[in-house]
Structure 1
Amino acid sequence: MFFIACKDQPKKDSKIKEDTKEMAVNIPCSAPSDWFGGSIPVPAPEKFPQIDVTNCDFHQISWQYFLWLTEEVNGTPRFESLYTDKAILPEFKDDQYHILDLIEQALSKGILIDKNNRAVYGNIMINEIYRDYILDNKLYDPETMNGFDPTADFPVGALSAKATWKIVQPDEDASNLYTKKADIELLTLVDGFPRVPKNNPKIQKNVEVALVGFHIAVVVEGHSEFIWASFEFKDNAPNFAANQDPNGIVSDKDWLFYDANTIARQTNNDNVGIAKFIDENAQTVSPVTQVARQYINGGGDETNQKNITNLNENVASQISAQSVWRNYFEVGAVWFNTSKGTLAPNWNPNVVDSMVTGSIKLSNATIETFTQKVRSQNQCFSCHNSNAMTNVPTGMKLLGGKNINLSHILLNNYNDGKEIPLPN
């Protein structure tokens, strides 16, 4: 088992059990040493603890997945061999062509624009378990999905991931980041604003990009709602102070997506309806986005805060000093406290949020830049829930509340790529 730092073993004597649990609270959340110096153990989501599970267990498996997905296999990180989100369609079931095709952020539809006036790109990936579940149940077909069992869950081990990438300029030092050459879909004017067109976008090949953000969503035993974990490059953006003055500066130093001495109210401002081309040929866009992370470790209680901080420090201390992955950290993770409830159709956190736990205000500075300041949108389940979808294309049946509606890959396919409505 890889869950060791915060795990309490059952005791026959209840008093001993109570004492050992109290002691475990004071043990710093850390990563097992056998994760380092060789191949990282394959995560075992089917063995996730069901008894005496601790907050640390969730952050440990989140970090283990990140390290396992970024481990080099045949010269590239393992996540590069995941399938694309197109692989839920039978005709693309083997697709691993990771073209960067996303620039609009979920819900806000804003574009993160870096200091070089370039849009930050994204792409979505899924593993074989996720893909096969969709294909085997023909959930790529809207009619089949509409009639699917509302209470059916994704299987244990199903995983999706989302990465965000900054375009590296010729004179830019990106030595602390994971970089690669990627194909990107180019922006053009769509309804008067810079966007990637839905049909027949132009493609630029072999663009150097750097990984700045990474989401992991994975189903583990006992948690059909997925654990939603988020990671970032350590120098992306500063954190707000605990009682940040909106008119006060967030940091007096420069960050990748933040200029020194920018005041808080000038950060994370959505640019929908404002973004415009400076030069379409050069693919430059304005205005530059000033980014700050509004909730340290994604919020949550003191235990959650300490566990993330301790685990991040412990992992960094054990990763090779030569590894770029030493420069990434877990922002946080969110899941359900199953003693208070489990996933059911027509659930969303704006109605019942008591069972959401962990980093309850989790946002990635590069993936949810703009929604982190909107209370009803500033955590993963605000967007990923089992609510019904009523805003569908003309002639298509309304989609009732289903557990599988957590997946926007499925919802986007059902909704023909149109915007997914917010929960009420």
Structure 2
Amino acid sequence: MLPTDAQVTCGVDQTAFNSWFSGGTATAGGAVEPANGFDFPPPATNTKCDFYKWGAQMFLWLTSPDSAGGVVVDGAQFYDVVPDGSGNRKFIQNGSSDNLMQLRSVKSITSEGTGQAGGGDVLINANNSLVYYGVHANDIYAWFRTGTVNGALSELGDDFPTTEDQVNLIVEYAIDNGAEITDTRASTMELKTSWVDASTVTKADFVTAQAVVPTYDETGDTWVVTGTETIELALVGMHIAAPVLGHPELVWISYEHINNAPMADYVYTTTGGDQSLVAYNASGTWTFDVDATYTPDVIVPNAAQQSDGSIKAKNGGPIGPVKVAQKNPWGVAPGPNNDAGNNTDLVSLNVSVMGMLSALSDVRANYYQIGGIWTSEGQLPLSGTDGTIRGGLRLANSTMETFHQYPDHNGFTSENCFTCHSVSDRTSPGVNVSHIFGSLNPLGSN
């Protein structure tokens, strides 16, 4: 899938890779430690590669085994963030009940401010599985929100914490309230994940989890909710958002499964110093509905979720699989004149990490980092075109921003994560870059 002759501008060698694993040796399915954001290089000296490597280690940690036999993101130190029935949201700790996965839909402008338009567009894979999504936060995030609501952490201010001393204040508050906190280096982390029914893919090639999902009467132009069922889901995408030293705006990193969809054209720099073009190629078998004749143009939804949870055909229907492509590979504009340096960093990172995982027959070798985004000196972003933004200026996940990859022709143009996750001015509370923080009920109030 990826070129093997790219300059190693952001590769991870075996020694460094081993150091990510608990015990200091890489093993198949082995536990990885979270990256230490407290020791992150300061804004004056950090590089794109520093952010991308941080994201790679975090993804491997999140998909590491936990003590209960699952994976970290599905373990007790993470909470699902779900509606509370009264317009707010609440934390449900993993293990306290089956995870509630909801249909992946475009956010409503009325409920999310600058959310994506499209009326709740629905994505269905090539084998007719709906795509489901989860929103999650870790224990430190949950206790930060709880302490903020209860007036116990006022000394931290209105931004996400970026130093070890700040996070230790949250940990002390949590311990005083009977909690046990692990992996403090993850700081206040939130996630979005996307999943398909594991029976519609080769399950052994995916990270999987059990979840409760809605069921439908899948007849006609409107699918009506009939109840719920517990099924095994396969992970197809993940957004990671957490602060590091000097970056309260959060670092946003995105991952996809290698079988999701083909990439548009991109260039990279070879070991010989030349620029080489990787041409778009849709041949092969993909999780989402693509054939060799499809071009990565406008991605048109054929169904949308309604306020009552039903799914209704749109754009002439019928409800079914949607043709998908990654229109802006590595988070930059496609074609022969795009950012070869950024692309080379990500290609070399993925080739090295995926190669070492593959040699171990580790299922995580099937996931690759598509890019990340942050600001130059930790400024709070004012929009998706803010001049301080660094990384993938067109970053979009093909399973989460499917219908709004730049340029969008479906009624709303989203440049990147910061189009929506931004603030009105740089003096605004930094926690506002998160769309869940302000609406979450504190722990103990559910």
TM superposition score normalised by structure 1 = 0.72
Matched, 1:158 2:163: no
Matched residue of 2:323: which SS? coil
**Aligned residue among 185, 199, 217 for 2:214:** 185
Between the aligned partners of 1:235 and 1:313, the Cα distance in structure 2 is: 16
Query: What is the Cα deviation at residue 240 of structure 1?
Result: 1.4
Q: Deviation digits for residues 228-254 of structure 1, max 9, x if unmatched?
A: 0000110100011259xxxx9851323
1:385 corresponds in structure 2 to 422
Are residues 149 and 370 of structure 1, via their aligned partners in 2, closer, same or farther at CA, if it must alter by over 3 Å?
A: farther
Asked if structure 2 preserves the Cα contact closer than 8 Å seen for 1:59 and 1:333, the reply is: yes
1:115 matched residue in structure 2: 126
The alignment-based identity, stated in percent, is 25
The one of the two structures with greater contact order (alpha-carbon pairs below 8 A, sep at least 6) is 2
1:267 & 1:253 partners in 2: Cα distance?
21
Does residue 54 of structure 1 match 2:42? no
Map of 1:138 onto structure 2: 149
Amino acid corresponding to residue 196 of structure 2 in structure 1: K
Q: 1:342 to 1:322 in 2, by over 3 A?
A: same
Which secondary structure does the structure 2 equivalent of 1:224 belong to? strand
The aligned residue for residue 204 of structure 1 is 229
- 2 CA distance for matches of 1:278 and 1:371? 19
| 1:45 and 2:45 are equivalent in the alignment | no
1:324-352 alpha-carbon deviations (Å, 9 max, x no partner)? 101000011111111xx7117xx2234xx
The answer on whether the counterparts of 2:236 and 2:260 sit within 8 Å (CA) in structure 1 is yes
Q: Does 1:317 align with 2:347?
A: no
Q: Deviations over 1:35-81 (max 9, x none)?
A: 32364333211111115211110000000100111111122111112
Q: Is this contact kept in 2: 1:235–1:255, CA < 8 A?
A: yes
Q: 1:125 aligns with which of 110, 118, 136?
A: 136
Secondary structure in 1 aligned to 2:206?
coil
Does residue 71 of the first structure (1) align with residue 109 of the second (2)? Answer: no
Name the amino acid aligned to 2:229: Q
Shift of the alpha carbon at 1:288? Answer: 1.5
**Deviation digits for residues 144-193 of structure 1, max 9, x if unmatched?**
9xxx99972112321001111111337x532211223321133579xx95
Gaps of 5+ in 1: 1-24, 389-399, 415-424
Offset at residue 386 of structure 1 (A): 1.5
SS at match of 2:191: strand
Query: Paired residue for 1:33?
Result: 17
CA contact (8 A) 1:129 1:155 kept: no
DSSP 3-state at the match of 2:229: strand
What is residue 328 of structure 2 aligned with on the other side? 295
- Deviations 1:301-320 (Å, cap 9, x if unpaired)? 33221111100000012114
Runs of at least 5 residues in structure 2 that lack an aligned partner in the other structure? 1-6, 21-25, 108-115, 163-186, 268-278, 333-337, 442-446
Distance in 2, Cα, partners of 1:413 & 1:194: 30
The two structures have a TM-score, normalised by structure 2, of 0.69
* Shift in alpha-carbon separation, 1:311–1:26, aligned structure 2, 3 A: closer
Q: Deviations over 1:189-212 (max 9, x none)?
A: 9xx95587xxxx83212x121110
- Name whichever of 302-311 and 218-227 sits farther off: 302-311
Query: Does the 8 Å contact 2:104/2:194 carry over to 1?
Result: no
Aligned counterparts of 2:249 and 2:436: Cα–Cα separation in 1: 15
Deviations 1:355-396 (A, max 9, x none): 1111111111111101103453131111211139xxxxxxxx
Question: Is the partner of 1:41 in helix, strand or coil?
Answer: coil
Cα distance in 2, alignment partners of residues 72 and 152 from structure 1:
34
Separation in 2 of the partners of 1:262 and 1:217?
Answer: 36
Residue in 1 that maps onto 2:255: 231
How far off is 1:91 after superposition?
7.5
The CA distance in 2 between the partners of 1:110 and 1:76, in whole Å, is 31
Q: Does the CA contact (< 8 Å) of 2:253 and 2:369 recur in 1?
A: yes
The residue number in structure 2 matching 1:367 is 400
- Name the amino acid aligned to 2:368: F
Q: CA contact under 8 A between 1:387 and 1:405: conserved in structure 2?
A: no
* Partner Cα distance (1:311, 1:188) in 2: 44
- Coordinate RMSD, CA, aligned: 3.6
Structure 2 SS opposite 1:377:
coil
Contact 1:249 1:261 in 2 (8 A): no
Q: Distance in 2 between matches of 1:26 and 1:91?
A: 44
Cross-structure match for 1:220: 244
